[in-house]
Amino acid sequence: MNNSIALKSILTKEIQRFTRIWVQTLVPPAITISLYFVIFGSLIGSRIGEMGGFDYMSFIVPGLIMMSVITNSYSNVASSFFSAKWQRNVEEMLVAPVPNWVIVAGYVGGGMCRGILVGLIVTIVSLFFVDIQLHNIWVIIATVSLTSATFALGGLINAIFAGSFDDISIIPTFLLTPLTYLGGVFYSISLLPEFWQGVSQINPIVYMVNAFRYGFLGISDVSLVTAFAVIGFFIVTLFTIAMVLISKGIGLRS
């Protein structure tokens, strides 16, 4: 059995899905990000002054890009896998000799593709508002890839457990959005009181946003090694959980 063909099939199907509905998947992030730039960058940002040695607009760009990557990687897999469950076409894969890791890799790959594509779109839009610096392209590529993989895995686990469409919006609304907004997208955590700085350190998005920001601006509230260790930990943990759930057929087999 050629697993690479099976992987390519799932990946192709996933990419075809989100490009087929591009008005719902690729356009909204560009509009949202433009509004962020206009409001937080031009209108409010000009009154804030510098942050971390950079003007506010330049400071928030990496966080805004990362926010789009996180949201889109997560929601792509959550909605696609849940739709496959709901329409029962997930059975197409379950009856076939597709190893579980290929199913996980295919869906996560699809989520990563959308997350990174949206990240690129948002980056291009941000060029209309600010000059983007590049400090270390490899850190940018590694961070965006690993972060999108992390949240695509999260979206997959959410979809496995979900019993209705409501269930795939609860986690993004009540967990993902607060963690993202409190993850240092709009501010440096060094501005927070010591207690809240400590609390912020249990938020994994802080590490992702700061590592990503380091790639652009060369500044970070956390060390790069710690950031990649945290992201690596989450990827391994979430991948293991996803594999166990699919192997046991939780939410998939009766």
Partner 1 sequence: MTYALEISALAKTYKGGFQALKGIDLTVKQGDFFALLGPNGAGKSTSIGVITSLVNKTAGQVKIFGYDIDTDLEKAKSYIGLVPQEFNFSQFEPLVNILVNQAGYYGVSKTVALQRAEKYLKQLELWDKRDEPARALSGGMKRRLMIARALMHEPKMLILDEPTAGVDIELRRSMWDFLRELNEQGITIILTTHYLEEAEMLCRNIAIIDGGEIVEDTSMKKLLAQLDVETFVFDLKPNLSLAVLTEFSAKSHAIAYRVVDDHTLEVDLNKSQNLNQVFEQLSAANIDVISMRNKSNRLEALFVSLINKKSNITQAKSESAVVGAN
Q: Which is nearer to partner 1, 64 or 78 (CB)?
A: 78
Q: How many CB atoms lie within 10 A of CB 8?
A: 14
Q: Which is nearer to partner 1, 41 or 106 (CB)?
A: 106
Taking the complex as a whole, the smallest distance from the CB of residue 93 to partner 1 amounts, in Å, to 6
Angle, vertex CA 132, rays to CA 130 and CA 135, nearest 5: 155
Under 8 Å between Cβ of 76 and 25: yes
Residues whose CB falls within 8 Å of the CB of residue 142, separated by 6 or more in sequence, listed in order: 228
Taking the complex as a whole, the smallest distance from the CB of residue 19 to partner 1 amounts, in Å, to 13
Q: Which is nearer to partner 1, 93 or 153 (CB)?
A: 93
Residues near partner 1, by CB under 8 A: 1-3, 5-6, 8-10, 12-13, 16-17, 20, 83-84, 87-89, 91-99, 249, 253-254
Q: Which is nearer to partner 1, 9 or 188 (CB)?
A: 9
Taking the complex as a whole, the smallest distance from the CB of residue 74 to partner 1 amounts, in Å, to 21
| Cα end-to-end span (Å), the chain | 26
Taking the complex as a whole, the smallest distance from the CB of residue 88 to partner 1 amounts, in Å, to 4
Task: State the Cα–Cα distance between residues 122 and 142, nearest whole angstrom.
Answer: 18
